[in-house]
C-alpha cells in the first residue's frame, strides 16, 4: 500500500492511510480489495498522527537520557501532546532543551516505526521485564486478548496507532512546558512529571503557532488582570477571585447589559438561596451525579451524621421550587426565569486556572418552563440572543455543536434521541452550521454548545441551551392545559455568557484588555502637564463624570510620557491632556489608546465624542 500512495516528492506529505474509512499505518498490508485514501501530514488526522508519533519520540529520548524513568500515557491534545513520566526526580523546564536535542538526533536517524501485534499476556511479560509497572497496569485493564506495540529502534511502547512510517517524518516540533500530574488523574495516586509539546507538518506552521503562544502569554488574563487592577486571588479562598473596584465595574456592566436584554426578550429575574437541604439535590439528581463537585455543610440537626445541606452548584433546582410554588396555567407559559445567583463547585485544586476554572462564580443563568409546542420558538429566541450578544462583544464568528447523551444520564435513550433531534432541527432551521459532540450532554439532557474563536484562534465554549424533560418529571411539575387537564412542562436551561468569571477571562485575552468603550473600567483619564493646571484638569474630569462617564484625573508631578504609559497599561481608551494653553482656551488635547493622537477639541466636542461611542443592546 505504501508504494501505491507515495509518489516522488509527495513521499513525506503522506503519513498514513484511510482504508475503508479506518486510519491505518502505511506499512499495513491489504488483505482484500478496499477503498484506500492517503492521509496527508497537514490534514487534521495527519497532524494528530504526527503529534502522537512525536510524543513517542519524546518518550524514547527521555528514557535514553534518564535511565530508570517509567512511561505512562502520551496522548494528543488540542494543539499538541503530552507524556506523563515517572522519573527518579521531577523534570524541570531546564531539562527540555536537552530532551529536544536528543529528539532531533533520533528524528534525523530516520528509525523505522514498526507495528507489532502480540498476545496481551506476552505484552504484560515484556513490560514487566522492562520494569514498566504503569504499562502493566494499563494492559491488565485491556479486555482484548491481542494488543499492538510500536517499536522504533530498540525502544517500544504500547499503542493503538497509527504512527508515521519512520522518525524522519517528524520535522517541526517544540517542547513547551512541564507540570505535575497524578496517575490516572487521581490525587490519591503517585505524582508524575508531565511534559507538554507540539508538532506541525511544517516549520512555518510551527513558527506561526509559537508566535500565537507568545501573544497568548502577553495577553494572559492573569497577567493583565494584575496590571489593570481588576482582580486578585488569595490562598485563604483558593479558586475564588476577589474582584477589585475596576474589575467589579466590568463584572457589573456585563450584568447591566444582560438585564437590558432580559427586559427586551421577556425574562423575569429572580433571587434564590445559596444553600439547600440535601432533599432538593437528591430529587434533582445532583446528589447522584454531581455530589463530588459540591460543597457540603451541616446544621445542628445533622447531629454529626452525613452533611444535610449543600451550596448550590447550579440554579435549576431552585427555579423548579419557584415554578411549583403556585398553580400554573398554559397562559403563564413560557415562564422565563433569570438568576445571577452565586454558585459554588468543588473543583479539584489541580484544575483551578485563574478566572477560567474557579470554585465560586455567577452565571447569566436562565430557565424557561414551556409547553412542548413552545420549544421551537423558545430555542429560536435564545439563539437570537446568543448571536446578538457575541456580535456586540466583538466576536466575529460563533460555532455550534450538539452535545448528546453521556454514559451516565437520567431518562430513557429514546427520550434522549428525540430531544437531540429537536435541538438539531432548531439549529438547522435557523440556518446554522453545526456538528455533533458525542457523549458530552449534561446528565439531565442534550444541549447546544456555543463556541467563539478569539483573536488568538482559540475556541472557547461559552453559551449553552439545554433541553430537559427529566427535572420537571423528578419535581412533579405540572400546568393546566386549555382543555383543563394537567400536563408536564418542558424545561430549557440557558446561559449566554456562561460563568461571568470565565467569560471575563476570555474577553481579557480576546481584547488584550482593551475592552469596548462601554465596558472599560476607566473610560477617560485627564492628564495634567503641570501644577498650574491641576484645577482645570480636575474640572474636566468632574464634567465628564457628570455626563455619566467613568473618569479620573492624574495630577501627579510626573512627566507626561510616564502618565501616558500608566494610562496605556490600564487600557484607558481616552487620555485627555491639558496644559496651560488648553486651560486658557478651555479646550483639551485628546489622545486615544488606539487611533488618532493629540487631537485638539473643545469641552463640548469631547462630551459629544464620548456620547457618540456605541452602546450594546
341-350 per-position pLDDT tens digit:
999 999 988 7
For cell 429575574, what's the residue?
269
- Sign, Cα dihedral of 104, 105, 110, 113: negative
Whole-angstrom distance, CA of residue 16 vs CA of residue 164: 7
| In the chain, where the domains are located | 2-216, 227-272+318-511, 522-611
User: Looking at the predicted structure, is the pLDDT value of residue 595 above 90?
Assistant: no
Which sign, positive or negative, has the C-alpha torsion 231, 236, 240, 242?
A: negative
| Pair 368, 336: CB distance under 8 Å | yes
Per the annotation, the verdict on 367 as an active-site residue is yes
Lowest mean pLDDT among 265-279, 364-378, 587-601: 587-601
Of residues 163, 316, 364, 591, which has the active-site annotation? 316
| pLDDT, position 349 | 83
Catalytic-residue membership of 316: yes
From the list 13, 95, 157, 365, the catalytic residue is: 365
171 and 197 in contact (C-beta within 8 Å)?
Answer: no
User: Which one of the listed residues 135, 194, 357, 367 is annotated catalytic?
Assistant: 367
Query: Quick check: 75 pLDDT over 60?
Result: yes
Q: Which of 63, 70, 363, 523 is catalytic?
A: 363
Q: Is 493 an active-site residue? A: yes
**Model confidence at 596, in pLDDT bands (50, 70, 90)?**
low
Residue 523 falls in the annotated catalytic set: no
Give the side-chain half-sphere CA count within 13 A for 58: 34
Q: Which of 344, 345, 359, 409 is catalytic?
A: 345
When the candidates are 3.40.50.800, 3.40.50.2020, 2.40.70.10, 3.40.50.150, the CATH number that belongs to 522-611 is 3.40.50.800
Residue in 359, 447, 474, 591 annotated catalytic: 447
For the stretch 128-142, pLDDT in tens is 999 999 999 999 999
Catalytic residue from among 221, 493, 563, 591: 493
- How many other C-beta atoms lie within 10 A of the C-beta of residue 346? 17
Secondary structure (DSSP) of 101-127:
HHHHHHHHTTPBEEEEEEEHHHHHHHH
Mind listing the pLDDT tens digit for each residue in 400-428?
999 999 988 888 888 889 889 989 999 99
Quick one: pLDDT at residue 12?
A: 60
pLDDT category at 597 given cuts 50, 70, 90 is confident
| Residue 2 predicted with pLDDT over 60 | no
Q: What is the pTM of this model?
A: 0.82
Mean pLDDT of 447-461: 89
Mean pLDDT calculated for residue range 256-283: 95
- Domain covering 2-216 assigned CATH 3.30.980.10 in the classification: yes
Cα gap 536→2, rounded to integer Å? 79
Q: What's the pLDDT band for 304 if we cut at 50, 70, 90?
A: low
- pLDDT, residue 3, reads 47
Helices 375-392 and 413-429: crossing angle in degrees, nearest 10, is 50
What is the pLDDT, as a whole number, of residue 192? 95
Residue 116 pLDDT greater than 70, yes or no = yes
Establish whether 152 is a catalytic residue.
Answer: no
Residue 7, pLDDT > 50, answer no
pLDDT of residue 488: 96
* Residue 137 grid cell: 497496569
Confidence band for 8, pLDDT divided at 50, 70 and 90: very low
Mean pLDDT of the chain: 92
Reply yes or no on whether 363 is catalytic.
yes
**For the domain bounded by 227-272+318-511, which CATH number is listed?**
3.30.930.10
Say how far apart CA 51 and CA 77 lie, in whole Å. Answer: 9
pLDDT for position 6 = 46
Amino acid at each position: 500500500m505504501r508504494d501505491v500512495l507515495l509518489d516522488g516528492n509527495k513521499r513525506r506529505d503522506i503519513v498514513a492511510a484511510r482504508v475503508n474509512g479506518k486510519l491505518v499505518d502505511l506499512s499495513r498490508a491489504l488483505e482484500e480489495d478496499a477503498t484506500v485514501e492517503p492521509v496527508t501530514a497537514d490534514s487534521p488526522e495527519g497532524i494528530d498522527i504526527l503529534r502522537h508519533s512525536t510524543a513517542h519520540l519524546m518518550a524514547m529520548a527521555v528514557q535514553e537520557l534518564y535511565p530508570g524513568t517509567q512511561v505512562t500515557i502520551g496522548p494528543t491534545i488540542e494543539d499538541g501532546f503530552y507524556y506523563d513520566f515517572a522519573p527518579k526526580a521531577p523534570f524541570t523546564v531546564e531539562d527540555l532543551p536537552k530532551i529536544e536535542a536528543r529528539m532531533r538526533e533520533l528524528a534525523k536517524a530516520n528509525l523505522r516505526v514498526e507495528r507489532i501485534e502480540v498476545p496481551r499476556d506476552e505484552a504484560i511479560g515484556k513490560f514487566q521485564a522492562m520494569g514498566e509497572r504503569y504499562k502493566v497496569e494499563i494492559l491488565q485493564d485491556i479486555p482484548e486478548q491481542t494488543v499492538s506495540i510500536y517499536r522504533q529502534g530498540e525502544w517500544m511502547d504500547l499503542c493503538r496507532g497509527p504512527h508515521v512510517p519512520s522518525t524522519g517524518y517528524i520535522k517541526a516540533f517544540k517542547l513547551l512546558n512541564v507540570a505535575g500530574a497524578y496517575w490516572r488523574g487521581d490525587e490519591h495516586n503517585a505524582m508524575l512529571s508531565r511534559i507538554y509539546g507540539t508538532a506541525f507538518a511544517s516549520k512555518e506552521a510551527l513558527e506561526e503557532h509559537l508566535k500565537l503562544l507568545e501573544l497568548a502569554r502577553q495577553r494572559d488574563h492573569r497577567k493583565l488582570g494584575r496590571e489593570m487592577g481588576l482582580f486578585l486571588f488569595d490562598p485563604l479562598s483558593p479558586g475564588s477571585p476577589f474582584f477589585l473596584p475596576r474589575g467589579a465595574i466590568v463584572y457589573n456592566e456585563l450584568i447591566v447589559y444582560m438585564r437590558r436584554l432580559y427586559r427586551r426578550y421577556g425574562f423575569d429575574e429572580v433571587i434564590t438561596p445559596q444553600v439547600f437541604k440535601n432533599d432538593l439535590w437528591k430529587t434533582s439528581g445532583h446528589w447522584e451525579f454531581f455530589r463530588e463537585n459540591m460543597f457540603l455543610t451541616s446544621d445542628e440537626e445533622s447531629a454529626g451524621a452525613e452533611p444535610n445541606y449543600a451550596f448550590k452548584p447550579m440554579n435549576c433546582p431552585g427555579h423548579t421550587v419557584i415554578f411549583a410554588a403556585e398553580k400554573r396555567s398554559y397562559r403563564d407559559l413560557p415562564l422565563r426565569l433569570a438568576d445571577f445567583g452565586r454558585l459554588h463547585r468543588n473543583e479539584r485544586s489541580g484544575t483551578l486556572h485563574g478566572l477560567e476554572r474557579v470554585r465560586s462564580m455567577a452565571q447569566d443563568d436562565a430557565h424557561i418552563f414551556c409547553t412542548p409546542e413552545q420549544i421551537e420558538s423558545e430555542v429560536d429566541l435564545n439563539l437570537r440572543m446568543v448571536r446578538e450578544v457575541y456580535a456586540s462583544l466583538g466576536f466575529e464568528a460563533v460555532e455550534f455543536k450538539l452535545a448528546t447523551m453521556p454514559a451516565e444520564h437520567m431518562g430513557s435513550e429514546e427520550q434522549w434521541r428525540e430531544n437531540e433531534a429537536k435541538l438539531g432541527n432548531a439549529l438547522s432551521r435557523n440556518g446554522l452550521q453545526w456538528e455533533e459532540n458525542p457523549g458530552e450532554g449534561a446528565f439531565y439532557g442534550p444541549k447546544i454548545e456555543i463556541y467563539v474563536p478569539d483573536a488568538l484562534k482559540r475556541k472557547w465554549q461559552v453559551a449553552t441551551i439545554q433541553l430537559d424533560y427529566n427535572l420537571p418529571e423528578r419535581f412533579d411539575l405540572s400546568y393546566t392545559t386549555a382543555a383543563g387537564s394537567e400536563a408536564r412542562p418542558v424545561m430549557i436551561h440557558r446561559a449566554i455568557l456562561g460563568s461571568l468569571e470565565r467569560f471575563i477571562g476570555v474577553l481579557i485575552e480576546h481584547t488584550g484588555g482593551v475592552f469596548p468603550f462601554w465596558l472599560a473600567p476607566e473610560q477617560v483619564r485627564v492628564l495634567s502637564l503641570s501644577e498650574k493646571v491641576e484645577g482645570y484638569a480636575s474640572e474636566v474630569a468632574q464634567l465628564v463624570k457628570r455626563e455619566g462617564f467613568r473618569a479620573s484625573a492624574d495630577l501627579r508631578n510626573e512627566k507626561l510620557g510616564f502618565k501616558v504609559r500608566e494610562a496605556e497599561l490600564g487600557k484607558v481608551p481616552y487620555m485627555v491632556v491639558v496644559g496651560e494653553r488648553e486651560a486658557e482656551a478651555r479646550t483639551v488635547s485628546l489622545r486615544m489608546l488606539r487611533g488618532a493622537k493629540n487631537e485638539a477639541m473643545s469641552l463640548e466636542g469631547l462630551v459629544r465624542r464620548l456620547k457618540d461611542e456605541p452602546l450594546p443592546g
